[in-house]
Structure 1
Amino acid sequence: MANKLATSSLLAAAVLLMALAAPSLAGDPDMLQDICVADYKSLKGPLRLNGFPCKRPENVTACDFFSGALASAGNTANALGSAVTAASADTLPGLNTLGVSLSRIDYAPWGVNPPHVHPRATEVIFVLQGSLDVGFVAAASNRLYARTVSAGDVFVFPRGLVHYQRNRGGDPAVALSAFDSQLPGTQPVAEALFGSSPPVPTDVLARSFHVDGGLVEAIRSKFPPK
């Protein structure tokens, strides 16, 4: 009888822990009002929230919910050959508290959107033009899930996992990405490791990548801190 009670108690504790952990695995918190258009001016004061303060309803207009930013191609004349144009809560105030956002990604021929993570969102990419090689790495197994996606195809990058895209053709490509967060965040892996300020210690990177410090410094010179 005692063993049965102990087992039941352990099971109840496990269920309780799972229930408590569930909110931390969710996306942005649910909103408590119809709209909460971001009031960027309020950020000049001491108040800081998980998101942006709301405009007073009488000051909200339809323009707060509109953006034409994704209509124009981004400038891909850079070392990566890609450009990301975001429509998130920090550029489109009407998205504040709604838990969604979009990005347009333009790729030059053979351009790369380098390995990066979105710490606060799952990404669904829809290819509008061209053909991409895409992939993500599972955290538990380090297994790479990769394939080619073409115009009209969709691919999912789970939240917080390292992923990338590469234009696999000699013509420009375009994709649209949707996120289940108003501010998904983007952290490029190489830039985070080699372009941080203050810098990650050279010996840490050298040992981690099994290379010498001179190579670490050579790579770091390509990523000046912002």
Structure 2
Amino acid sequence: MTNLSIILLLSLAFSLSVVFAADPSTLQDFCVTNPIGQVCKDPKHVDANDFFFSGLHTAGNTTNPAGSKVTPVFASQLPGLNTLGISLARIDIAPWGVNPPHSHPRATEILTVLEGTLEVGFITSNPENRHFTKVLQKGDVFVFPIGLIHYQRNIGYGNAVAIAALSSQNPGAITIGNAVFGATPEISSGVLSKAFLLDKSTVNYLQTKF
């Protein structure tokens, strides 16, 4: 193979890697979720309400053990978001409540505090497991990289409100405690006791809580 051929092949490989790394084109203006099972709603039957959501002015109910409530606006709530690669959520947290450690497997999150004082943080992947944390006030912004475990806690004396924007129409959420101790069917207590260095009775107790 000549040097020219090698250069051409390398150039082609690089070009393809760039193409595959980019977000796919929708090839159309929009693809509103169709409730009757087709891929996209017929554009002739789309109207402004397909791109509209109302309700983020209403505070979420935080009377639960965590003291927080997330109100999502994903493609399932706002059909016009389908294929657009974005979504958002309102987060309400009562004083000393917490949005528990969780991750979004398909999205980076950027959080803006609207009211209150939040302690936020995220943890990097193994083996470093670095903990980045910051106290945020009204108007502050913080970003949580895609897939990393993160949390928010209200350390003020009034209710805290934040808006989270996410880089996916369906970011997913894996809450660590629920996933590990509330799996169905449950994870063996033998596995969990070794993984978390706990005795089996403690694991069994935690499983009843989740």
Distance 2:62 2:130 in 1: 30
Mapped partners of 1:221, 1:19: distance in 2: 50
Correspondence for 1:80: 66
Match of 1:41 among 14, 36, 44: 36
1:171 pairs with 134, 138, 158, which one?
158
Please identify runs of 4+ aligned residues in structure 1 that moved more than 6 A. Answer: none
> How many residues are aligned here?
203
* Unpaired segments ≥5 residues, structure 2: none
Aligned-pair CA distance for 1:69:
2.3
Distance change (3 Å), C-alpha of 1:196 and 1:21: farther
CA shift at 1:150, angstroms?
0.7
Percent of aligned positions that are identical: 49
RMSD: 2.3
Does the residue aligned with 1:69 lie in a helix, a strand or coil?
Answer: coil
What residue identity is the alignment partner of 2:31? C
User: What is the TM-score normalised by the length of structure 2?
Assistant: 0.90
Distance apart, 1:222 and its partner CA: 0.4
Q: Which amino acid aligns with 1:37?
A: V
Is the partner of 2:29 in helix, strand or coil?
coil
1:68 aligns with 2:54: yes
* Partner AA of 1:189 in structure 2: I
Cα distance in 2 for residues equivalent to 1:210 and 1:22 = 46
User: What is the CA-CA distance between 1:42 and the residue it aligns to?
Assistant: 1.1
Aligned-residue offset at 1:200: 1.0
Relative distance call for 1:217 and 1:17 in structure 2 (3 A) is farther
Deviations 1:149-181 (A, max 9, x none): 110000000000000000011110000000110
Q: 1:22, 1:123 → 2: CA distance?
A: 25
Q: How does 1:144-223 map to 2 (within 5 A)?
A: 144-223=131-210
Residues 30 and 97 in structure 1, CA contact (< 8 A), matched pair in contact too: no
- Deviations along 1:126-165, one digit per CA (max 9) or x if unpaired, are 0000010000001141000001011000000000000000
**What stretches of structure 1 of length at least 5 have no aligned partner?**
44-52
1:98 aligns with 2:97: no
